[in-house]
Amino acid sequence: ASPVPTLCGVPLKYISLVTLAVQNSLLTIVMHYSRVHIPPSQSYSAPTAVLLNELLKGAISLAIAFSHIDRSPPYASDLPQPGLTSGRFWHSSRLLLRIRKLAREVFSPDCWKLSIPAILYVIQNNLQYVAATNLEAATFQVSYQMKILTTAAFSVLLLRKQLSTSQWMALFFLAIGVGIVQIQTGASDTVKAASFHLFQNSSMNALKGFLAVVAACFTSGLAGVYFEMVLKNSQSDLWIRNVQLSAFSLLPALIPIVLARHPDSGLISSLFQNFGPWAWATVAIQVVGGLVTAMVIKYSDNILKGFATSLSIVLSFLASIALFDFQITFTFILGSVVVLIATWLYNQPNRSSPPLRLGYTVV
Ligand code: C5P
């Protein structure tokens, strides 16, 4: 097994999980603010944000993948011709060789496998905006935790992951904990709606928001597990896989933009209409989230990722106390403690039954 990567001595697995929890809380608050607490006449295009997210994430992943490319040529045909190994020509041809190697890896014969999670993630990312536009931030975040259950179900079905009894119990407790926090959320919405901001968009449709969350939970579980399956079934670099994922996202991300385009306005001007600092902030946080998510899937797994994001409920509520005069209650503390205990339980080494086994199917 390859050594576990670390940063300043701390395993990257834990750094990425904590970063993801913080990123999730921040995204929920900023995305919700950018959609709901800004006058509807100034709202920006969510499909544009999804497209920009993929473009930026793809560009960053490409730069990292390029820096990872081994400097020595792997193919005999790439070796320099005798007599061409000195001077500026050789220097620039080495750069070309790296670019060529990168292109070969990006356009590998199995790159099409990423088209499935790419399409699912584009759908999910668009649904996320529908949900954030129609639900209170806290309600959205807690309901979105149902993706832990869909992810566990897809992990068992597709990855043939075997969970121990205590891990199933942890999932059960997690659902209970999230439910308890949801009771708290219902009460808090009124407080927040009253104390929050000047521009509360009143055209929120809770049913539409909830259906969007449920659908997003399914695409999240399936896309995440599929990505994990592709990643762990091959030797390809994580960043190459991310480039492929972003590349396959571009076409589906463009479709809603083209469909929603006003025939009288230019494509670029309608793309960036009302695209202000809050919209850019949402995109930036999403880009960080996408990159960290990929690392979490690589260095730990999808189910653990779900637990990290459920911890972000606690962070979001703490932020709500600081930002929105949110009143902390017993049910909130109880729900959060249950979520924390469930997380701890899920991570306990299992001594009685065989360890978590990963039996990947070939895709
Ligand atoms: O909520 P969930 O964890 O399913 O969200 C995953 C998010 O991370 C999506 O927005 C998806 O676009 C992004 N992602 C990514 N690159 C990956 C995996 C996920 O950008 N390799």
Dist. CA 61 → ligand 1 center (Å) = 13
At 260 the pLDDT is: 78
Q: How confident is the model at residue 344 (pLDDT cuts 50, 70, 90)?
A: confident
3-state secondary structure of 10: strand
User: Tens of pLDDT along 242-295?
Assistant: 999 999 999 999 999 888 777 777 777 778 888 999 999 999 999 999 999 988
Ligand 1 pocket member 307 (CB < 6 A) = no
Nearest residue by C-alpha to atom 4 in ligand 1? 220
Asked whether the predicted pLDDT for residue 336 surpasses 50, the reply is yes
Please tell me the distance between residue 96's alpha carbon and the centre of ligand 1 in angstroms: 32
Residue 171 pLDDT grade (very low, low, confident, very high; cuts 50, 70, 90): confident
Strand partners, 6: 11
**pTM of the model as a whole:** 0.80
Determine whether the shortest distance from the Cβ of 242 to ligand 1 is under 6 A.
yes
Identify which of 121, 147, 229, 300 to mutate to test ligand 1's pocket (most ligand atoms within 8 A of the CB). Answer: 121
The answer to which of 10-24, 43-57, 132-146 has the lowest mean pLDDT is 132-146
3-state SS of 180-238 is HHHHHHHHHHHHHHHHCCCCCCCCCCHHHHHHHHHHHHHHHHHHHHHHHHHHHHCCCCH
Does 103 score more than 90 pLDDT?
yes
* Residue 363: per-residue pLDDT: 34
Residue type, 23: Q
244 CB near ligand 1 (under 6 Å): no
- What is the pLDDT, as a whole number, of residue 93? 76
Is residue 188 within 8 Å of residue 327, measured between CB atoms?
A: yes
* Predicted local distance difference test score (pLDDT) of residue 112: 95
Residue-wise over 150-180: b if at least 16 C-beta within 10 A, else e? bbbebbeebbebebbebbeebbebbbebbeb
Average pLDDT estimate for 27-38 = 84
CB burial class (10 A; 0-12, 13-18, 19+) of residue 133? buried
Question: Does residue 218 contact residue 144 with C-beta atoms inside 8 Å?
Answer: no
Amino acid 76: pLDDT:
58
94: tokens are 């080495």
CA-nearest residue, atom 13 of ligand 1: 290
Per-residue pLDDT for 119 more than 80? Answer: yes
Summary mean pLDDT of the chain: 80
Q: Is the pLDDT of residue 192 over 50?
A: no
**Whole-number pLDDT of residue 205:** 83
Of 150 and 127, which is predicted with more confidence?
Answer: 127
Residue 186: pLDDT over 90: no
73-92 pLDDT, tens digit each: 555 555 555 555 555 665 66
Ligand 1 within 6 A of 140 CB? no
Tokens 């606690």 label which residue?
A: 314
Tell me, what's the pLDDT at 182?
A: 64
8-17, 40-49, 75-84, 190-199, range with the lowest pLDDT: 190-199
Higher-pLDDT residue of 116, 355: 116
SS (H, E, C) 30-41: HHHHHHHCCCHH
Instruction: Categorize the per-residue pLDDT at 118 as very low, low, confident or very high, splitting at 50, 70 and 90.
Output: very high
